[in-house]
Amino acid sequence: MKKRRTVLLLVLLAAVLVASPVLAKSSWNANSVWPPKNHQSVGLNNFAEKVKKATNGELEIVVHTGGALGYKGPELLKTVRDGLVPVSDMLISGVAGDEKVFQIVTLPFLVRDFQELQTLLNICRPYFDKTAEKKWNQKILYVAPWPGAGLWTKKKITTVAEMKGLKTRTYDKNGALVMDAVGATPHALPFSEVYTSLQTGLIDSVMTSTPTAVDAKFWEVLKYYEPLNITIATDMVTVNLKAFQKLPKDQQSALLKIGKDMENEMWAKVPKIDKEQEAISNKNGIVTVAPSKQLIADLEKITQNIRADWLKTASPEGKKIYSEFMKKVKR
């Protein structure tokens, strides 16, 4: 009798489980190569928290900062495409070697400030979205800027002539071309080697933004900061398209809405972060040397061939973006 009752209960339980909708929880790893306190990592963590709250915990994004998952950066388009990690933050200039349309945001002295960068990105975005989905099996959740890249130096720089002979750590191809154009020697070094390279004299200057300078405590090995806005780099956070499409529709919608909100939040925050990080550097001994209009004009002129050479081999989409941007900013 007890055996029959147990069997009956098990049958009833199975029937209830089949009839009841079961909400499958999803947990995704998210990759960031930046240190935990870097504004891009902080932004990604905030994004993950908002997603968890909006989906009542049914979608959890676990953020791994500092490159803890083993990915260095340039391979991240492929990494997300292949589903090795479902979500990743990536520097657009870092993955532009794999995708031509992304290269436009790496052009030196194309944009002069955050407002122009936003104008450029608004034009780029439909092309970026289409390329990411159709070619790279991923969806862009949001795009966030970095503060502009300036020069951090041991000697004070006020003219192009004074840049000649610098030994400068650069982070992409176009940055290297800029330093070549002014008579400096570019060095492509992993950021983990920058501090010791400054100590040993292998390099005497670095092209980067204020948050990175603070992360590396440049005031211990450098003296000056020239905010040249050589480029204003951008990050994007993407999700593997198949992983995204497996989510319930309401979670997909939540992810996209939060991504849009996060993008607006980051664009509002980053100019303030730039000033805050510069102030921290100044407080610790770095002297900011504001560039003259003449220096910027000279740098724009001396780097015009870099932009022109890129345009010759740019994709049709890249040429359209460039043309529309130049019309918008009336240049």
pLDDT in tens, 134-166: 999 999 999 999 999 999 999 999 999 999 999
pLDDT band at 113 (very low <50, low <70, confident <90, very high): very high
Cα separation of 28 and 43, whole Å? 17
Cα separation of 67 and 191, whole Å? 12
Nearest-CA neighbor of 224 among 199, 197, 212, 206?
206
Give me the domains of the chain, ranges plus CATH numbers: 26-98+114-145+234-279 (3.40.190.170), 150-230+282-328 (3.40.190.170)
- 193-208 burial, b at 16+ Cβ within 10 Å, e below that, comes to ebeebbeeeebbbbbb
Nearest-CA neighbor of 230 among 311, 113, 313?
113
The pLDDT score that the predictor gives to residue 192 is 80
Q: What is the pLDDT of residues 163-190, one digit of tens each?
A: 999 999 998 888 999 999 999 999 998 7
**Does 210 score more than 90 pLDDT?**
yes
The pLDDT score that the predictor gives to residue 18 is 43
pLDDT band at 3 (very low <50, low <70, confident <90, very high): low
Q: What is the pLDDT of residues 266-303, one digit of tens each?
A: 999 999 999 999 999 999 999 999 999 999 999 999 99
What's the chain's Rg over C-alpha atoms? Answer: 24
The pLDDT score that the predictor gives to residue 12 is 47
pLDDT band at 14 (very low <50, low <70, confident <90, very high): very low
Nearest-CA neighbor of 259 among 34, 44, 33?
44
The pLDDT score that the predictor gives to residue 179 is 97
What are the distances in angstroms from CA 258 to CA 146, 227, 268, 322, 325? 20, 32, 15, 29, 28
The answer to whether the beta carbons of residues 237 and 142 sit under 8 Å apart is yes
3-state secondary structure of 189: coil
